[in-house]
Structure 1
Amino acid sequence: MSLAHARALLFVPGDRPDRVERALASGAEAIVLDLEDGVAAACKEAAREQALATLERLARQGSDPAVAAGRRPPLLGLRVSSPATADGVRDLAALLDAPARPDFLVLAKVESAAEVQLCAAALDWSGELVCSVESGAGLERAAEIAAACEQVAALGFGGVDLAAELGAELAWEPLLAARARVVWCAAAAAVAAFDAPVLELDATAALTADCRRAAALGFDGKIAIHPRQVATIRAGFAPSEASIADARAMLATAQDAGAARHRGTMVDRATLRRAARVLARAEGAP
């Protein structure tokens, strides 16, 4: 599985290995051990050691909770601090000598393609990269960041940090233009886009609405910060049975007749691409 098939990226603080088993059993397609904002400044060194030890342990034993539940094992990721910071340099240096590497890296607060290329080259990285766009500078250069190198698999929208920098309310409407730009730039580079997390842990209705709006805008999935959010996110980004059936019928109609009318709508290349994407999302689900 690749990040292209993920809907929920569940973040776990790197210094809380006790939370990993629950994360693995959550149903998230990707688990991210966090060395950045999820860890207090005084705990960074310990988090680095514990996260890398967790990756080594999981590499030895496999992702048992997921396998036992009949699901594909989730991808395992590591979020490192910006390479423009001392903590980021230490994160990358520790990863160089790590006995086990994650499936993918999340690069925090990316502001240029050069940062991405530097990380990939320094680590001789062959896995996937998620580049988090969390600032005005990052948003301005999102297109070049998404196309920085072949390892970039997704852009992440860091709405919390961006809102703080802009002095904007952390709400949908004030950040709509920024969200749209992340989706556009990801699509132009043919990579995935993951929306910002909802911070209210008990607001299931708000999370459901947020997922629906993000999916409608073109996001492929969303960041989760607690296992209880995962099921809601996966449901919110899953194609409905009706849309799957309609996509199959549309493709069959076009195959039989070329350009055609389908349920009152003219079928053309654009609508067929959309239908194919719906089916790809449905078939790629674990």
Structure 2
Amino acid sequence: MTSTRCRPGPAWIITPGLHGNRFASAHHSGAAVAVVDIEDSVAPADKQSARTASQTFFTPPNPPCTLGIRINSLTTLDGIKDLAALAAYTTRPDLILVPKVESPRDIELVAACLDAPDYTPQIWALIESPRAFDALPAITRAPRLGGLIFGSADYAATLRCDLGWSALHYARSALVNAAAAANLPVIDAPTWKLDDPDLLLRDAQRARELGFHGKGCVHPRHVHLINEVFTPTTEEIAQAHALLAAADASGGMVTTVDGQMRGAPFFQAAREFIAETDRPS
């Protein structure tokens, strides 16, 4: 089973648990992670049907990506029922996405219920409330936490603010900072407008610039662009190697590279960039 500290690739696609006809499309969308959702996309009366239907999401042999499930909040009865159902799945998810996390206990509860000698799924937290942001230092210390995802829709609804980039810039910055302090990967929320590729491009570029490792999406046609934005270019890789060469030549001292002053922080960033680029997917 995959490591809890694995860093899956940039595009994450989520698909409703009751729409089995979309499962194959999600699997083969080109996303690094495909998540079946039995939380927000499923009405309360249909939760049990979604738990049953979602089992087939994990049955294809040799899936081309990491397969996960977004369960219901563990402060609800449906969330507890989800854990019981997952424990009985014949083929279980690689990754559990826990919504509305506001305490490390949520992560600990999932691990306590599902971990077994032959099964230790990745456990990721959706951070989507002001309370969650206040509790980030504690949440990120949970030993079994694999990473963080920004839940922009719920967060904006709680604040009664706009979903635009400016309104949520503080939250994104705070989340990236907390993730970096804990050495955890962090994934940005989807761009909710489905037919605005220019907006998606801008959002993905800004998310990468801010320090996110990837971005969620709710439609397969968003996957390619997200992958393109978050995949290092040959020029970026060449620039990083040039920085490392300059570091070696200067003995790690401040030097000039392409007319710009560069020193230890830039050299370290280049080393980490190259290491991340060379890491097997």
When normalised by structure 2's length, the TM-score is 0.92
Residue 169 (str. 1) matches residue 162 (str. 2): yes
Q: CA deviation at 1:282?
A: 3.1
The residue number in structure 2 matching 1:259 is: 252
Gaps of 5+ in 1: 64-72
The residue number in structure 2 matching 1:268 is: 263
Residue 44 (str. 1) matches residue 35 (str. 2): no
- Is the partner of 1:4 in helix, strand or coil? coil
The range that moved more, 125-134 or 170-179, is 125-134
CA-to-partner distance for each residue in 1:225-270, whole Å, 9 max, x for gaps? Answer: 1100001111121222221110011112223432242223344332
Q: Which amino acid aligns with 1:220?
A: H
CA-to-partner distance for each residue in 1:166-224, whole Å, 9 max, x for gaps? Answer: 11111111111111111011101101010011111111110000001111111110111
Contact 2:71 2:99 in 1 (8 A): yes
Q: CA deviation at 1:284?
A: 4.1
Contact 1:5 1:285 in 2 (8 A): no
Alignment partners' CA distance in 2, 1:143 and 1:210:
26
- Is the partner of 1:156 in helix, strand or coil? strand
Runs of 4+ in structure 1 displaced over 4 angstroms? Answer: none
The residue number in structure 2 matching 1:131 is: 125
Number of equivalences: 273
- Is the partner of 1:76 in helix, strand or coil? strand
- Is the partner of 1:174 in helix, strand or coil? coil
The residue number in structure 2 matching 1:91 is: 82
Alignment partners' CA distance in 2, 1:102 and 1:255:
45
- Is the partner of 1:62 in helix, strand or coil? coil
Q: CA deviation at 1:281?
A: 4.0
Q: CA deviation at 1:285?
A: 7.2
Alignment partners' CA distance in 1, 2:43 and 2:9:
28
Residue 107 (str. 1) matches residue 98 (str. 2): yes
- Is the partner of 2:91 in helix, strand or coil? coil
Contact 2:103 2:135 in 1 (8 A): yes
Gaps of 5+ in 2: none
The residue number in structure 1 matching 2:31 is: 28
When normalised by structure 1's length, the TM-score is 0.90
Alignment partners' CA distance in 2, 1:223 and 1:143:
23
Percent identity over the alignment?
A: 36
The range that moved more, 17-26 or 133-142, is 17-26
Contact 1:12 1:32 in 2 (8 A): yes
Q: Which amino acid aligns with 2:141?
A: A
Contact 2:32 2:66 in 1 (8 A): yes
Change over 3 Å in CA distance of 1:284–1:23 after alignment to 2: farther
